Structure 1
Amino acid sequence: MAYRETEKMRQRKAQARQKIIESTWECVADGGFQSARVTRIAGLAGVATGTIYRHFESREDLFAEIFRLATQREVDKVAEALAITGNAVQRLDHALRHFAQRALKGPMKAWALIAEPVDPKVEEERLAYRRAYANLFEQAIRDGIAEGTIPDQNTRLAATCLVGAISEALVGPLSPTQTSELPDNDNNDNELVDTIVCFCLRGLTGTRS
C-alpha cells in the first residue's frame, strides 16, 4: 500500500519550513548571510540540521529563497511608494526617498540584500530583482515623458541608472565596517537621502526637483 501523507503531516512540514525561513532571515538581519550558519539556523528553528536539507537542497538554495522573499517585500514597498498621487517626478522622488530611508533604518538587512558578497545563486536573484526595480522606475519615467514632466530619453537605460546610482550610493553607508564606526545621526541620514534623490532626479529631468 502506497504511503499517503496526511494533512496534519503536511501542515507540520509547512510549519517547519516556515520556521527555518524565519530563523534564517533572523540570522541574516543580525549579521548578514555570512553569519547564517546552518547549525545556528537549525538551533533557532528548533530542528535538526538534516531537516533543513529535507526542505532545501543546499545552503545556497535556502539563501536564494530567503533573498527572494526579502527582496520581493522591498520591491512591493517601492511599488506602493510609486502609487501615490502626483506627477511622475513627485512619485519617483517619493519612491527613491522611501527606498533609501528603509535601507538606512535597517542597514544590515539592506547590506545583505544590496551589496554583501554572496553565492552565485543568490547573486542571480540579486540581478533579477535589480531588473524588477528598474521595471517599476521605467514605467514611472514613461509616465513622466507622456505628461511632460520628464524629457524624452531611453527609459530602460534611465531606469537602470537610477537603480545603479541609489544602490552604489548606499554601499558605503551600509557597509558593516562603516556603520559600526558612525554615530546614529538622523541629520546625516537625511542629508544623504536628499543628496541621492537630488542627483537621481537631476539626471532624469536636468533640473533640481
Structure 2
Amino acid sequence: MAYRPTEKTRAAKEQRRSALLTEATVLVAEGGFGAATVKAIAERCQVSVGSVYSHFDGNTDLLASVFRRGADQELVAVRTAVSAAEGGANRLRALVETFAQRAIRGRQLAWSLLFEPVDPRIDAERLAYRAEYHALTTEILRDGMESGEFPHQHLKVTATALIGAISEALTGRLSPTHAVTTDADDADTVEAILRFCLHGVGHVDPEPRSTAAPLHPSPAEGPDS
C-alpha cells in the first residue's frame, strides 16, 4: 500500500520547512543572499544538509522562497497602510513612507530584496513584485485623478517613474557600504522622497504630514518584524 501522509505529518513537514525559511531569512537580513547557504541554514537549524534539500529543490528554490516571504511581508505592510488612508495624496504618502521607512529600518534585508545581484529566478520574482507595486501605485493615481487631487497624467508612465524614483533614492541609504546614519538623516531622506513624489504627480502640499510610524533605530528586521 502506498504511503499517504496524514494531516499531522503534513503539518510537521510544513513546520520544519517554515523553520528553515525563517533561519534563511535571518541570514539574508544579516549578510545578504550570499550568506544564506544551505550549509549555514542547516547549521542554524541543527539539521543535515540533506534535510534542507528534502524541503526545497536546491539552493535557488530555497532563496526564491525566502525572497517571496520577505517581499510578501513588505507588500502586505504597504497595502495595509495605503488602505487605511483616505484620498489620493494621503494614500501616496502612506505608500512612500511605509515602504521607505521599513526599508531603512531593515537595511540589509531591503538591499537584498531590491538590489543584490541574484540568480535569474529570483530576479524574475523581483519583477513580479514590482508589477504588484506598479498596480497599487496606478490605483492610487487613478483615484487621485478622479477626485481632482492630481492633474490628468499618463498612469503607466507616472507609476513606473514613481516606483523607480523611490527605489533609486534609497540605494545609497540601503547599501551595506554606506555609513551609519542618524534618525534625523533617515527622516530627511524619507521626507525628500515624499516631497519629490507629491510634486511629481502635480500635488503641492507645503506641509506633508506623516501617515507611517516614525523611524526608530532597530536591528535588521526578520521575517516577523
* TM bin (shorter chain): over 0.9
Match of 1:202 among 188, 199, 202: 199
Change (3 A) 1:6 1:87: closer
Which amino acid in the other structure matches residue 185 of structure 1? T
Q: Is the 8 A contact 2:198 2:204 kept in 1?
A: yes
- Which residue does 1:167 correspond to in 2? 167
- Which residue does 1:149 correspond to in 2? 149
- Which residue does 1:41 correspond to in 2? 41
* Residue aligned with 1:177, SS: coil
Between the aligned partners of 1:28 and 1:118, the Cα distance in structure 2 is 12
Q: Spell out, residue by residue over 1:30-70, the C-alpha distance to the aligned partner (whole angstroms, 9 max, x if none).
A: 11101111111011122211111111111111111111111
Which amino acid in the other structure matches residue 72 of structure 2? Q
Between the aligned partners of 1:84 and 1:15, the Cα distance in structure 2 is 32
Between the aligned partners of 1:141 and 1:57, the Cα distance in structure 2 is 40
Q: Spell out, residue by residue over 1:61-91, the C-alpha distance to the aligned partner (whole angstroms, 9 max, x if none).
A: 1111111111011111111111134320122
- Which residue does 1:191 correspond to in 2? 188
Q: Spell out, residue by residue over 1:154-201, the C-alpha distance to the aligned partner (whole angstroms, 9 max, x if none).
A: 1122111111110011111100011xx33x401100111111111111
Which amino acid in the other structure matches residue 60 of structure 2? E
Which amino acid in the other structure matches residue 196 of structure 1? I
Structure 1 residue ranges (4+ consecutive) displaced by more than 3 angstroms after TM superposition: 206-209
The within-5 A match list for 1:43-192 is 43-178=43-178, 181-182=179-180, 184-192=181-189
- Percent identity of paired positions between Structure 1 and Structure 2: 42
Change (3 A) 1:143 1:16: same
**Unpaired runs of 5+ in structure 2?**
209-225
- Which residue does 1:29 correspond to in 2? 29
Instruction: Out of 148-157 and 81-90, give the one that drifted further.
Output: 81-90
Change (3 A) 1:2 1:131: same
Q: Is the 8 A contact 2:32 2:112 kept in 1?
A: yes
Q: Is the 8 A contact 2:23 2:41 kept in 1?
A: yes
Q: Decide which structure has greater helix share.
A: 1
Q: Which has the higher contact order (CA 8 A, sep 6+)?
A: 2
Which amino acid in the other structure matches residue 103 of structure 1? A
* Residue aligned with 1:207, SS: coil
Between the aligned partners of 1:85 and 1:194, the Cα distance in structure 2 is 18
1:206: Cα distance to partner?
5.6
User: Please, what TM-score do these two structures have when normalized by structure 2?
Assistant: 0.87
Change (3 A) 1:5 1:141: same
Between the aligned partners of 1:61 and 1:185, the Cα distance in structure 2 is 37
User: Please, what TM-score do these two structures have when normalized by structure 1?
Assistant: 0.93
- Which residue does 1:4 correspond to in 2? 4
Q: Spell out, residue by residue over 1:126-175, the C-alpha distance to the aligned partner (whole angstroms, 9 max, x if none).
A: 11101101111110100000000001111122111111110011111100
Aligned residues: 206
Between the aligned partners of 1:68 and 1:35, the Cα distance in structure 2 is 17
